[in-house]
Amino acid sequence: MEKLTITIKTIFGVEEVLKEELNELGFDEVSVLNRAVQLQGTWADVYFLNLNLRCAMSVLVEVKKFKIRDEQDLYKQCMKIDWTSYFSIDKTFAVRGAIQSKLFSHTQFPFLLVKDAIVDTFRDKTGERPNVNIKTPQVVFDLYIKENQATISLNTSGAPLFQRGYRTEIGQAPLNEVAAAALIRMSGWDRKSTFMDPFCGSGTLLIEAALLASGIPSNIDREHYAFKNFKGFDADLWAGIQSAAPRTCKGFDFEILGSDIDSDMMLMAKRNLRGLPIGRFVSVSTAAFQEVKKSTDNGTLICNPPYGERMGEEIEEMYAELGDWFKNELKGWNCYVLSSNEEGFKSIGLKPSRKIKMYNGDLECSFREYRIFDGFRKEFVKNEKENN
């Protein structure tokens, strides 16, 4: 069977954990690119990856790769592609992607050239043209140009894969689901010990953690995938891949806990959880983080506290209290904070053991690890050794 070149796009900094996720799913030969990874595979793999990947934004299948000399050359090369073999006239389409090239004076122009080539090919072959739909296209093509190298791909996902289909309620400053899944992987959480988010908002980190631990794909409820609109879509193959995915959860023998000071947020989190098979195994409550008591000696805490950008609290004071709370209440825990507020991080007053650059949307953030040393235990072990 002919192998497809599959490029999986993600967000900045997530490439390595996406590779790790692919290895876990049984894909061993994965190369890491900038904001993407690449592998060879089949259409069955393409369907499977769209459904099962948590740290990916979109899954692309390469159509053609070529060198271009100038702007018009892009159009000419694109006229050599038989676009009618990829989709039918009744489907709307869009061309998206990224351009890093001095050959084009206007960054939108290459997309227009490819769109023209698609429309002209249809007109020449059928006398009719398909319609463009920028916002909600049924079929999406990806154009990537780096200097004089152009790559055209089918974007088999369409809308980005962080649109899971499970979130009915969106909080004030929600974390993108792909970023949430990536943070959980970066933390190295073992999926069998307590997980906590004391700033849980609408519950993104809790939901992604519970879905990961249950093995249920994060996209289990998503219906839209652009691959369904391409010619040659194999509905039986897709149905088989969907029905092979786990959908139910019998519960966990550890806790997944969330809290937030805002009771409206808590309602949102509850509504989001209600529709999911893991929903009743995640406990949420309205509380300020300072009031939260740990229920186990160790665990993983990941949080995305207010950054001060949109919400205007007394931010530094809050981060200082957060640091104190980690030290006093969470001995033995691994705590992780995502924030864009450097002064806030300084106010935490603890030395991070890891700092990872991340983006939350367009906002540059840092994801920091604080291993909260359990002084008593270490002292105890030391004394034990000295006494023996």
Ligand X SMILES: C[S@@+](CC[C@H](N)C(=O)[O-])C[C@H]1O[C@@H](n2cnc3c(N)ncnc32)[C@H](O)[C@@H]1O
Q: Is residue 221 at the binding interface for ligand X, with CB under 6 A as the rule?
A: no
Residue 45 phi/psi, 5° resolution? -65, -40
Q: Which stretch binds ligand X (CB under 6 A): 25-33, 79-87, 197-205, 374-382?
A: 197-205
Q: Is residue 204 at the binding interface for ligand X, with CB under 6 A as the rule?
A: yes
Q: Is residue 260 at the binding interface for ligand X, with CB under 6 A as the rule?
A: yes
Q: Is residue 175 at the binding interface for ligand X, with CB under 6 A as the rule?
A: yes
Nearer to ligand X, 41 or 201 (CB): 201
Asked if residues 141 and 118 have their Cβ atoms less than 8 Å apart, the reply is: yes
Residue 24 phi/psi, 5° resolution? -65, -30
Cβ at position 59, least distance to ligand X in Å: 24
Q: Is residue 166 at the binding interface for ligand X, with CB under 6 A as the rule?
A: no
DSSP 291-312: G---SSSS-EEEE----SSSS-
Cβ at position 305, least distance to ligand X in Å: 6
Strands 58-67 and 4-9, bridge-based pairing: antiparallel
Nearer to ligand X, 8 or 173 (CB): 173
Nearer to ligand X, 242 or 347 (CB): 347
Per-residue contact string for residues 275-314; x = within reach of ligand X by CB under 6 A:
-------------xx--------------xxx--------
Nearer to ligand X, 157 or 304 (CB): 304
CA distance 102 to 322: 47
Question: Angle of helix 71-78 relative to helix 109-126, nearest 10 degrees?
Answer: 30
Residue 162, judged by CB atoms within 10 A of its CB (0-12, 13-18, 19+), counts as buried
Q: Is residue 158 at the binding interface for ligand X, with CB under 6 A as the rule?
A: no
Q: Which stretch binds ligand X (CB under 6 A): 102-110, 145-153, 172-180, 245-253?
A: 172-180
Q: Is residue 319 at the binding interface for ligand X, with CB under 6 A as the rule?
A: no
CA distance 50 to 16: 18
Asked if residues 348 and 320 have their Cβ atoms less than 8 Å apart, the reply is: yes
Nearer to ligand X, 255 or 262 (CB): 262
Cβ at position 27, least distance to ligand X in Å: 29
Per-residue contact string for residues 2-41; x = within reach of ligand X by CB under 6 A:
----------------------------------------
Q: Is residue 261 at the binding interface for ligand X, with CB under 6 A as the rule?
A: yes
Cβ at position 283, least distance to ligand X in Å: 15
Q: Which residue is nearest to ligand X (CB)?
A: 201
Measuring CA to CA, which residue among 326, 187, 193, 334 is closest to residue 255? Answer: 193
Cβ at position 317, least distance to ligand X in Å: 10
Cβ at position 327, least distance to ligand X in Å: 17
Nearer to ligand X, 199 or 333 (CB): 199
Cβ at position 208, least distance to ligand X in Å: 9
Q: Which stretch binds ligand X (CB under 6 A): 27-35, 85-93, 146-154, 257-265?
A: 257-265
Measuring CA to CA, which residue among 45, 40, 30, 83 is closest to residue 62? Answer: 40
Residue 286, judged by CB atoms within 10 A of its CB (0-12, 13-18, 19+), counts as middle
Cβ at position 185, least distance to ligand X in Å: 16
Ordered alpha helix ranges (H), the chain: 15-24, 43-52, 71-78, 109-126, 177-187, 204-214, 235-244, 263-274, 315-329, 342-348, 375-387
Q: Is residue 202 at the binding interface for ligand X, with CB under 6 A as the rule?
A: yes
CA distance 196 to 193: 10
Nearer to ligand X, 79 or 287 (CB): 287
Measuring CA to CA, which residue among 155, 157, 146, 86 is closest to residue 117? Answer: 86
Measuring CA to CA, which residue among 155, 203, 196 is closest to residue 177? Answer: 203
DSSP 153-210: EEESS-S-TT--S------SSPPPHHHHHHHHHHHT--SSS-EEETT-TT-HHHHHHH
Nearer to ligand X, 188 or 361 (CB): 361
Task: Please give the residue ranges that form the binding site for ligand X (CB under 6 A).
Answer: 171, 173-175, 198-202, 204-205, 260-262, 265, 288-289, 304-306
